[in-house]
A and B are shown apart, each in its own frame.
Chain A
Amino acid sequence: MGTMRRLEYMSILRQKLVEGGLSNDEINDALEFYEELFLDAGYENEEKTAQNLGDPEKLAAQILAENGSVGFVRSEYKMDDAINNSDPNAQKDTASAGSYDIAPDNRKKALIILAICTCFIWFPITIGLLSAVFAITVAMVAVVFSIFIAGVSTFVAGAFTCVTAPPVGVLLIGVGVFLAGLGFLIFKPLCRGAIGLAKKFFGWVGKTVRNIFGGGNSNKAVSENG
C-alpha cells in the first residue's frame, strides 16, 4: 500500500462502501469528501495523502460504522481507534486480528430488545430482591425502635418501683435510660443509612434507564487510549 495513489485508493474505498451496503447518497458524499482531500493536497502528494488516510478498507469500515448501516463491524475499525493513530502500519497490525463486535447504535437497540425479551426472568427477581431489602430495612428500624420503647417503659416502671422497692427501682431506671439511649443512638444513623441507600438505588435506576433509552447526545470520549 506504500505506493497507492488517488485512483487506486478511491476505487478500493468505493468498492468497500458498496459492499457494506451504504446508500448511494452516503457513498457519493464520502467519496466526494475524500476525493477533494486528495485533489486539494495536490497531485504530487497523492501517496502521502493515501498514507495519512490509512488503509482504505479500514476507512470504509469506519464510515460504515459511523452510518450505522451495518450491524456488525470489526471493532478496531471504529472511531475510537482511528483517532490519534495516523500511522498506517500500526493500524494494519490490529486489523488482521479483528474480532467482530456490534456497532454502538445497534448495541443499544440490542440491549433494549434483550431487556424486554428477558423481562419475565428479571422482573420477578428484581421485585423479590427489592421487597427483601425493604423488609429487612423495615425490620431493623422496628427492632431499634422497640429497644427505644422498651427503654422508655422500663424507665417509667422503674420510677413507680422506686416507691415500693427503691434499689430495684433505681436499677430499672438505669436499665431504661441505657436502652432508650442505645435505641436513640442506633436509630438516627440507621435511618440516615436507609435513606441514603434508597437515594443511591433510585439514582442508579434512573441513570441506567437514561443510558439505555436516552439519546446519544452525550459527549462520549472518542479515545481512551491516546
Chain B
Amino acid sequence: MSFPISAGLLDSMVLAIVSSEDTYGYEITQTMRKAVDVSESTLYPVLKRLQKSQMLETYDKEYMGRNRRYYHVTSKGAAQLSNYRSEWVEHKTKVDSILMSDAIGNKEKIKEEEEVLPQEA
C-alpha cells in the first residue's frame, strides 16, 4: 500500500475495536485485517503497548475448556480514543483539502465518506 500505517493509527484502531465490545486477540486481528494489510504478528506488540500504557486491561474467560484473554478499554483508553478520533478527523480533513481539491465533481463523495467516520469524536 502507498500509505504506511503509523503506530498511532494502529493504536487508535485497536482501541476503537475493543471499545465497541470487549474482545479477544484473534477477533481483533481479523477485524484489523479487514481494513489494513497488517501481519497478525504486528498486533501483539500493539496490544502489549496499550496494556503497558494502561489504555487496555485484560481478563480471562473460559471458552471450550481453555482460557481466552479478553481486552477491555480503560477510562484512560477511552479518553485517548476520543483524542485519536478528533485528531484523525482533523488530519483527514486537512489531507482531503489538498488531495481531493480538484475533484469538484467528487465533493458529494467526500461528504459521504465523512459521514461514515465515527461520530463520537
Is the C-beta of A8 less than 8 angstroms from some C-beta in chain B?
no
Is the C-beta of B4 less than 8 angstroms from some C-beta in chain A?
yes
Q: Is the CB of B42 within 8 A of A79?
A: yes
Q: Is the CB of A41 within 8 A of B44?
A: no
Q: Which of B1-48 contact A (CB under 8 A)?
A: 1-8, 10, 24-27, 29, 37-42, 44-45, 47-48
Tell me the nearest residue of chain A to B1, going by C-beta.
A226
Contacts of B8 in A (CB 8 A): 219
Contacting residue for A66 out of B3, B6, B10, B48, CB 8 A: B48
C-alpha spacing A13/B63, complex, angstroms: 24
Q: Is the CB of A40 within 8 A of B25?
A: yes
Q: Is the CB of B39 within 8 A of A54?
A: yes
Contacts of A84 in B (CB 8 A): 1, 4-5, 37-39
Contacts of B37 in A (CB 8 A): 84, 86
Is the C-beta of A83 less than 8 angstroms from some C-beta in chain B?
yes
C-alpha spacing A124/B98, complex, angstroms: 48
A84-B1, A84-B5, A219-B7 known; A59 vs B25 contact (CB < 8 Å) = no
Tell me the nearest residue of chain B to A34, going by C-beta.
B44
Is the C-beta of A126 less than 8 angstroms from some C-beta in chain B?
no
Q: How many A-B residue pairs have CB under 8 A?
A: 85
Q: Is the CB of A33 within 8 A of B4?
A: no
Q: Which of A1-55 contact B (CB under 8 A)?
A: 29-30, 32-34, 36-37, 39-41, 49, 52-54
Is the C-beta of A186 less than 8 angstroms from some C-beta in chain B?
no
C-alpha spacing A63/B7, complex, angstroms: 16
Q: Mark A51-92, 1 if CB is under 8 A from B, else 0.
A: 011100001001100100000000000010011111000000
Contacting residue for B4 out of A40, A66, A224, CB 8 A: A224
Is the C-beta of B66 less than 8 angstroms from some C-beta in chain A?
yes
Q: Is the CB of B26 within 8 A of A223?
A: no
Is the C-beta of A221 less than 8 angstroms from some C-beta in chain B?
yes
Q: Is the CB of B39 within 8 A of A222?
A: no
Q: Is the CB of B3 within 8 A of A226?
A: yes
Is the C-beta of A99 less than 8 angstroms from some C-beta in chain B?
no
C-alpha spacing A33/B38, complex, angstroms: 17
Q: Which residues of A contact B (CB under 8 A)?
A: 29-30, 32-34, 36-37, 39-41, 49, 52-54, 59, 62-63, 66, 79, 82-86, 219-226
Identify 14 new A-B residue pairs, CB closer than 8 A, beyond the known A84-B38, A84-B39, A225-B4: A30-B44, A36-B24, A36-B26, A37-B26, A41-B26, A54-B41, A86-B38, A86-B39, A219-B7, A220-B7, A223-B4, A224-B4, A226-B2, A226-B3
Could you list 27 A-B pairs, sorted by A, with CB under 8 Å? A29-B48, A32-B69, A33-B44, A33-B69, A36-B24, A37-B25, A40-B26, A40-B27, A49-B40, A52-B39, A52-B40, A53-B40, A53-B41, A59-B41, A62-B45, A66-B45, A79-B42, A79-B45, A83-B39, A84-B5, A84-B39, A85-B39, A219-B8, A220-B6, A221-B4, A221-B7, A223-B5
